[in-house]
Chain A
Amino acid sequence: MPEKVEDKINKTITIALSGNPNAGKTTLFNAITGARQHIANYPGVTVEKKTGRTSHAGYEITVVDLPGTYSLTAYSLEEVVARNFLIDERPDLVVDIVDASNLDRNLYLALQFKELGIPLIIALNMIDMAEKRGISIDYDALSSLLGVPVVPIVARESEGINELMDRVVEVALQGRRWQPELISYGMDIDQGIDRIEGIISKAYNRYEKYSSRWLALKSIEGDPEINQLFLENGKAKQGIDAIRDQVSAHIHKTLEDAPEGIIAEHRYGYIAGIIKKTVKRRLESRIDLSDRADTILTNRVLGPIIMLAILYGIYAFTFNLSRAPIGWLEAGFSLIGDLFKFILPEGNLQSLVVSGIIDGVGGILSFVPLIMFMFLAIAILEDSGYMARIAYMLDRVLRWFGLHGNSVMALIVSGGISGGCAVPGVLATRTLRDPKERVATLLVVPFMNCGAKLPVFALLIAAFFTEGQAKMMFLFTLISWFFALFAAKLIRSTVLRGPKTPFVMELPPYRAPTLKGMAIHTWERTWQYIRKAGTVILGVSIILWAAMTFPGLNRDRAAEYDRQEEVMTSDFLSSADVSGFLSNSDDLKALDGLIASYRRSGSSDHDAVMSSREKLLSPVAKAVADIKKEGPAEKDGSDAYLSCAYEYIGYKDRLTLLGRDKNADMLMGTVAGRIGSLMEAVTRYIGFDYRTNIALFGGLAAKEVIVSTLGTAYSLGEEGLEAESTLPERLRRDPGWNPLVAFTLIIFTMLYVPCLVTLISIARESSWLWAGFSVCFNLITAFIISFIVYQTGSALGIGV
């Protein structure tokens, strides 16, 4: 086609892509724009508006991907979004993608576009599948009977896309006005439409963007959004309402149905008439493979067993496969941390970079492999069509708790088999269509036992429930399911009360997921997660770090610790066994360096070029290194260097202890520490002291932090000293602790505030309001349950 620039006055075209879920809309969108977008074999995954661009025959074409809908009423969010976009944004035309194997239902939507009047092109998709199934369609006849261009395509293979875009440009260039084309809905309704249209065109001539005939049809259909429009002219509205009621009463009396039912039946009847003239079917002899698969996969006995096996398989697959890469990432981040410890001088800046930023963000990014495998598994389940079967099999159980069959995946991913993660769990709720069911699922997902809670449970179980550890773990898994489900029931019967939404859902035929589709799908979601870690989490990590660092020790206390350290050093240097070897702090530094190199390599790095001081110290250093490596040596009183080595070790141990006391003291002086002390007023009713409170405060960032903070608060690092006990032992001996407190803390940890990343995910998937609600609801639930557990236990004397 020779290009004539002057023809193209309007060089940009906007088209809206619409169609039933599962008709291949997303695939077509990708084929047209080349954009990457989530593709799933599941009804209703596309909820947000997506835009892509392409150019064809010299025209810039913007493609807006509307949500998949079955209809254009105003009863679901998707439908409202789609309809309002068309009416308000006025794209040049709609490309309605229609599944060629499922014309009756797909054309139901097409007919409603014709009623609305927007220029329309039908992209008849999957004609190859239709032919295989013995369906042959006369495209030209279909086009002329519908009065709409029909372009056969195979979106998966990018077949027919060029022809489709040719038609798009052609229709857009005609630039025709919207022409609402209503069919006949039976005499009673048609008359009603005529009368209402008369009132509307007289009383509401301001509504330029709506056609009054379409408004009249929608009014009779009982469309709440449209009937709302009439409110501004009370008198006219009375007239309209009167006509509608009259038609409705008449239809109820004569046909025992509502007007909208009759309207729908006439639409389907009209479509059936067209199909009769344009579609030929050979008798279907082949038994549908997908149906055969379902006789086993959704079998009443085998189905659940296979489902459990698949879910467990996914769980094992994601966690086992991601374990190694997570380890590498963690090692990598701790290496980066060490690097910064080396580069930056000790002090607040180093602490900020290492403990605040690298530990905070690194902790989150280390989970990327897990998240990625989890998303891959979900992508396979969705794209293959199996997810819909899971929902089908479990709907009855979950419905009782006010949830939906689709909620199960989110619950399992979050730790339904303990060790998941609530973040992918929160994202998995996207498969839920009803906003109330979706938010309810979002809110209970953090109750599950995610991988980060496990170290906390493990610590407390090791300390207080040494017998039957596995049984305790299993018990806590059951408890978390119990709370999640009953919390859902509570939420759904209070703040999110609402009718159970219809479950009518398609079971799409099983399809083999394509590698490309899954790769796009997995990467998109993983990238979202990474981006989050880089932004919001970075900020909040810094805030939490500051809360646990400042203001810290006051000057007097700090000076006191410095003084004690000095006394220890001078005591050490002046003791009889030592003074022969070391006399000042330079000697001490030299000894530290020698010991480090002996411990690293087994020998001093530079035996040949030792200074005289180093020659004197090296037997001591070697002895210290040997003792650290092999345990206490045979003590021989005559070896002065050995005595000095023991003195040195004792001195270093005392220093470490002092340092830990100082750290613990510092933590108590921070904002977090003060909050922890203040909270004691409340938490003593559930047996927690300020140290536990600080640990729980740290757990806001990530639940694992509870363990490390408890360690600091009880002035114990990861490496227990020979003279000291391990953290479990220390807790066991502490008078403030007993099995009841430990059990209560486990329950509290299970239920209290979702961790930061989860909270941010909840906010992204719903709103900050719901994220805030989640914090309050979980905190209150956790407190009430812990209170009951602790007080009952105390009263009955269990575990005290």
Chain B
Amino acid sequence: MKQIISLRQMANDQSGIIRKIKPGGEMARRIREMGIVPGAQIMIIGRAPLKDPVAVKLKDFTLTLRNNEADYILVEIDA
């Protein structure tokens, strides 16, 4: 079963395919510029001590972003 959730809701070590970046001005722009785009594989590799920000691994690089930024990213996962 495939299911689409926001990046914030993903568990640690869970991976999925990015399906959509919600439109939202600068936030969405920065997210896309940094290489987070629909179709890319993404995996949660860790969360900071206070559970925010979150560290994600894409094919060729590792990024961190805050939870409120993760809300803009919708990911398809295996339920």
Interface residues of A (CB under 8 A from B): 70-71, 73, 75, 101-105, 108, 252, 256-258, 260-261, 264-265, 268, 272, 290-291, 294-295, 298-301, 303-304, 388, 392-397, 399, 405, 502-509
Contact = CB atoms under 8 A, between A and B. Distances in A.
B53 A392 contact: yes
Quick one: which of A299, A394, A505 has the most chain B CB within 10 A? A505
A303 B49 contact: yes
Contact of B66 (A272, A394, A395): A395
Interface string B26-70: 111111111111111000011111111101010111111110010
B60 A70 contact: no
16 contacts: A108-B35, A257-B23, A272-B39, A290-B62, A294-B62, A295-B45, A300-B49, A392-B53, A392-B55, A502-B30, A503-B64, A503-B65, A506-B34, A506-B63, A507-B62, A508-B62
Contacts of B53: 392, 395-396, 405, 503
A71 B62 CA distance: 18
Contacts of B35: 102, 104-105, 108
B75 interface: no
B45 A260 contact: no
B63 A396 contact: no
Contacts of B52: 395-396
A455 B52 CA distance: 40
Interface residues of B, number: 38
A504 B69 contact: yes
Contact of A396 (B39, B50, B65): B50
Contacts of B60: 101-105
Contacts of A260: 29
A264 B37 contact: yes
Nearest to B62: A507
Q: Which 3 A-B pairs give the minimum distances between C-beta atoms?
A: A105-B35, A396-B50, A70-B33
A505 B55 CA distance: 9
A61 to B, nearest CB: 30
Contacts of B32: 261, 264-265, 268
Given A268-B37, A272-B39, A502 B49 contact: no
A73 B32 CA distance: 12
B5 to A, nearest CB: 17
A504 B36 CA distance: 10
Contacts of A304: 49
Instruction: Say whether chain A's binding surface is mostly helix, strand, loop, or mixed.
Output: helix
Contact of A291 (B45, B50, B69): B45
A105 B48 contact: no
A105 B61 CA distance: 10
A71 B33 contact: yes
A506 B55 contact: no
Contacts of B27: 502
A220 to B, nearest CB: 14
A102 B60 CA distance: 5
Given A300-B47, A396-B50, A507 B29 contact: no
A70 B46 CA distance: 24
A261 B62 contact: no
Nearest to B32: A264
A294 B55 contact: yes
Contacts of A268: 32, 37, 39
Contacts of A75: 26, 29-30
Quick one: which of A101, A105, A291 has the most chain B CB within 10 A? A105
Given A392-B53, A509-B62, 13 more contacts: A73-B33, A105-B34, A252-B23, A260-B29, A261-B32, A264-B33, A298-B46, A299-B46, A303-B48, A394-B48, A502-B66, A505-B64, A506-B61
Contacts of A397: 50
A504 B46 contact: no
Given A261-B21, A504-B69, A392 B62 contact: no
B46 A506 contact: no
A298 B50 CA distance: 12
Interface in B2-41: 20-21, 23, 26-40
A504 B45 contact: no
Given A102-B60, A108-B35, A294-B55, A502 B26 contact: yes
A261 B55 contact: no
Nearest to A509: B62
A39 to B, nearest CB: 19
Contacts of B48: 298, 300, 303, 392-396
A502 B62 CA distance: 16
A503 B51 CA distance: 15
A291 B23 contact: no
B23 A258 contact: yes
Quick one: which of A75, A301, A394, A503 has the most chain B CB within 10 A? A503
Nearest to A303: B49
A105 B33 CA distance: 7
A458 B55 CA distance: 44
A505 B33 contact: no
Contacts of B39: 268, 272
A219 to B, nearest CB: 16
B69 A502 contact: yes
B6 to A, nearest CB: 15
A108 B33 contact: yes
Quick one: which of B27, B35, B52 has the most chain A CB within 10 A? B35
Nearest to A109: B33
B26 A102 contact: no
B61 A504 contact: no
A252 B63 CA distance: 29
A31 to B, nearest CB: 23
A295 B64 CA distance: 14
A527 to B, nearest CB: 33
A265 B29 CA distance: 11
A393 to B, nearest CB: 5
Nearest to A130: B60
A507 B63 contact: yes
Given A395-B48, A502-B30, A504-B30, A265 B37 contact: yes
Given A272-B39, A291-B57, A504 B31 contact: yes
Contacts of A392: 48, 53, 55, 64
Contacts of B20: 257
Contacts of A291: 45, 57, 62
B42 to A, nearest CB: 13
A370 B33 CA distance: 39
A490 to B, nearest CB: 22
Contact of A504 (B40, B57, B59, B63): B63
